[in-house]
Amino acid sequence: MKANRGGGEHGQHEALKLSSFFFMPERPRDYLVLFTRFSVLTCLIVSVSLVLRATFLSPSARDYSTTYGLKLTAVPQKAIALPPSASVGPTNISHIFFSIAGAAETWIDRSQYISLWWRNTTRGFVWLDEPVKIPENHSDVRFSIPTRVSDPGWTRFKFSSSRAAVRIARIIWDSYRLNLPNVRWFVMGDDDTVFFTENLVKVLSKYDHEQMWYIGGNSESVEQDVMHAYDMAFGGGGFALSRPLAARLAAAMDDCLQRYFYFYGSDQRIASCISEIGVPFTEERGFHQLDIRGDPYGFLAAHPLAPLVSLHHLVYLDPMFPNKNPIESLQTLMKPYTLDPNRILQQINCHDRKRQWSISISWGYTIQIYTYFLTATELTTPLQTFKTWRSSSDGPFVFNTRPLKPDPCERPVTYFMDGAEDVRDSGTKTWYSIGDKNYGHCGKIEHTRLTKVKRILVTSMKTDPEYWNKAPRRQCCEVMEGKVGKRKEKEMLLRIRKCRSLEKI
Ligand SMILES: *[C@@H]1O[C@H](CO)[C@@H](O)[C@H](O)[C@H]1NC(C)=O
Ligand SMILES: *[C@@H]1O[C@H](CO)[C@@H](O)[C@H](O)[C@H]1NC(C)=O
Ligand SMILES: *[C@@H]1O[C@H](CO)[C@@H](O)[C@H](O)[C@H]1NC(C)=O
């Protein structure tokens, strides 16, 4: 959450401290305790509700909401007086509450990233430092995530480097105290974080939301993990807090903000506060802070075998697709993602035995072909097309990389997805066209033969909905004999399928 600086002055006023009263019961008998507390505190709560109501319905709040076309019903005053309803059944998108860190200054521009993934089933707010007036004709923002202004209480805390980090760390408190019903997970992210919500739901549903969980990803650049922390979810990649943990964190937040004023980021303040509660960081490999510089290609073409949950920092990186800007690139990626969310960016490798070519598919994104033999390990090791985030060095990263060889003949020929569609009986087709990565000219016959292949068609069955609930195993692919004559030279047909039990790549 470092990208957000901004930060308007607000008048200081003492914020209401609700969180410590409204803890989330972890055991049935806690409900009784809670009920008793509620009975005793009824009068107080009623008055607190009134204060809240007055706060939310003050003229400035009303103007602000009208400006955005928000419904004030999103803040349920009544719910505060009731114990949370027991949540049963599988986790779906409506159980996730997104708390997005934004800043008024950059919101209109950054809202493009959220519009890519925001749907009418997603719940949450982007928290800004001050209200923004959104132009009438800006449909993207108007129908996207609703905005809220952070409670101004944050301005009383000390800070050493980034003032906005205090406010952003505190949006978990802002979000929790709304006490919205049926929230199992609070998911934090930046205004330039792109979430793949189907996969986020899939990942979170593996965990018991009634227990305390802190789930996310750390930085790709070792220098960042060393400087900040390894045992911490980097905010831009997004991270999830189960409701019981969010309750504890919201209650502890203000004290933590006093104690950890010397940290740079909001995410590190949150991590330190969670570590006081005694809850460890759980890493999921699909959250991507993308603390890298330059071209993310090599990394995204060799995604770890885990569902893609988020992408971040794309505004600072070379666009994913040649001849497209970052937003157009993401729009392109969303098409195959909606067809088969489990499979997006999943890497599948095979060899063309006749021609001795090595083929690597990053589904829905790109294909790399090499005119020589590479092992499965080499193919799954990202080609280092990028540098580290802070010092633009050649590493180290938290994963292995292989260098982009200086000889153009040893570099891959690359193809980029330009179409995706459903086919009958739960299948998909994706097309990839040759795309220039400026990897230089190689005059060797085999390379020339490869560059004659202009288009690749990939067919696959949609992944089993249980795919990520089983022990992970990469799928296999094979080169199909398709077209004859001239077209055969120009087109290639690949089929993705489950590997046979004894099959090796
Ligand atoms: C999510 O699950 C709840 C039950 O816990 C159900 O009432 C709701 O309709 C579901 N929402 C979606 C979007 O599937
Ligand atoms: C939500 O969006 C879907 C399509 O994106 C639409 O079919 C549905 O009617 C919408 N629901 C509401 C409540 O607007
Ligand atoms: C909205 O209108 C302003 C001028 O009135 C124009 O400059 C801007 O490009 C328009 N934006 C969109 C998204 O149409």
- Ligand 1 atom at minimum distance from 93 CA: 13
SS (H, E, C) 370-406: ECCCCCHHHHHCCEECEEECCCCCCCCECCCCEECCC
Give, for 256, the enclosing helix (H) or strand (E): helix 243-259
- Ligand 3 atom at minimum distance from 138 CA: 13
pLDDT at 141: 65
> Is the separation of the CB atoms in 134 and 66 below 8 Å?
no
Q: How many residues appear in the chain?
A: 505
Pairing type for strands 123-128 and 147-149 reads: parallel
- Ligand 1 atom at minimum distance from 121 CA: 13
Cβ of 47 below 6 Å from ligand 1: no
pLDDT at 164: 84
Cβ of 92 below 6 Å from ligand 1: yes
Give the single-character DSSP code of 221.
B
| Distance between Cα 119 and ligand 2 center (Å) | 8
| Distance between Cα 408 and ligand 2 center (Å) | 49
What are the residues whose beta carbons fall under 8 Å from the beta carbon of 272, sequence distance 6 or more?
A: 256, 259, 260, 263
Cβ of 93 below 6 Å from ligand 1: yes
Which listed ligand is nearest to 85 at the C-alpha?
1
Q: How far is residue 391's CA from residue 219's CA, in Å, rounded to a whole number? A: 14
Q: How far is residue 64's CA from residue 147's CA, in Å, rounded to a whole number? A: 9
> Is the separation of the CB atoms in 48 and 18 below 8 Å?
yes
Residue indicated by tokens 């982009």: 404
> Is the separation of the CB atoms in 98 and 145 below 8 Å?
yes
Which listed ligand is nearest to 198 at the C-alpha?
1
Measured on CA atoms in the order 373, 429, 476, 376, is the torsion positive or negative?
Answer: positive
What does residue 400 show for φ and ψ, rounded to 5 degrees?
Answer: -75, 155
Cβ of 121 below 6 Å from ligand 1: yes
Cis peptide bond prior to 396, omega within 30° of 0: yes
Q: How far is residue 455's CA from residue 437's CA, in Å, rounded to a whole number? A: 16
Pairing type for strands 123-128 and 310-311 reads: unpaired
| Distance between Cα 288 and ligand 2 center (Å) | 29
Q: How far is residue 290's CA from residue 297's CA, in Å, rounded to a whole number? A: 11
Q: Within its chain, how far is the Cα of 263 from the centroid?
A: 23
- Ligand 1 atom at minimum distance from 87 CA: 5
CATH 2.70.130.10 range(s) for the chain read 344-497
CA dist 68 to 64, 97, 112, 167, 266, Å? 7, 19, 16, 22, 27
From 136, 137, 327, give the residue whose CB has the most ligand 3 atoms within 8 Å, as the site to mutate: 137
| Distance between Cα 192 and ligand 1 center (Å) | 27
Q: How many CA atoms lie within 13 A of 308 on its CB side?
A: 29
- What topology does CATH give the domain 344-497? Cation-dependent Mannose-6-phosphate Receptor; Chain A (2.70.130)
CA dist 180 to 5, 80, 124, 163, 274, Å? 28, 8, 10, 28, 22
| Distance between Cα 178 and ligand 1 center (Å) | 20
| Distance between Cα 339 and ligand 1 center (Å) | 21
- Ligand 3 atom at minimum distance from 140 CA: 13
Q: Whose CA is nearest to atom 13 of ligand 1?
A: 94
- Ligand 1 atom at minimum distance from 89 CA: 5
| Distance between Cα 115 and ligand 2 center (Å) | 15
Instruction: Report mean pLDDT in 10-residue bins for the chain, 505 residues.
Output: 33 26 40 47 39 33 28 34 60 97 92 93 95 79 83 83 84 93 96 97 96 97 93 95 95 88 87 95 97 97 98 96 96 98 98 94 98 96 96 95 96 97 95 94 94 96 95 94 71 95 82
| Distance between Cα 144 and ligand 2 center (Å) | 13
Q: Whose CA is nearest to atom 1 of ligand 3?
A: 137
> Is the separation of the CB atoms in 415 and 450 below 8 Å?
no
Cβ of 137 below 6 Å from ligand 3: yes
| Distance between Cα 214 and ligand 1 center (Å) | 23
pTM: 0.83
Q: How far is residue 286's CA from residue 276's CA, in Å, rounded to a whole number? A: 26
Q: Within its chain, how far is the Cα of 63 from the centroid?
A: 32
CATH 3.90.550.50 range(s) for the chain read 93-283
Cβ of 86 below 6 Å from ligand 1: no
| Distance between Cα 45 and ligand 1 center (Å) | 29
What are the residues whose beta carbons fall under 8 Å from the beta carbon of 68, sequence distance 6 or more?
A: 134, 142, 146, 147
Cβ of 138 below 6 Å from ligand 3: yes
Cβ of 405 below 6 Å from ligand 3: no
Q: Whose CA is nearest to atom 2 of ligand 1?
A: 92
Which listed ligand is nearest to 135 at the C-alpha?
3
Residue 389 burial class via C-beta count within 10 angstroms: exposed 0-12, middle 13-18, buried 19 and up: buried
| Distance between Cα 134 and ligand 3 center (Å) | 11
Give the single-character DSSP code of 261.
T
pLDDT at 86: 53
- Ligand 3 atom at minimum distance from 139 CA: 13
Which listed ligand is nearest to 111 at the C-alpha?
3
Q: How far is residue 408's CA from residue 441's CA, in Å, rounded to a whole number? A: 6
Tokens of 465: 């909905």
Domain 93-283 has CATH 3.90.550.50: yes
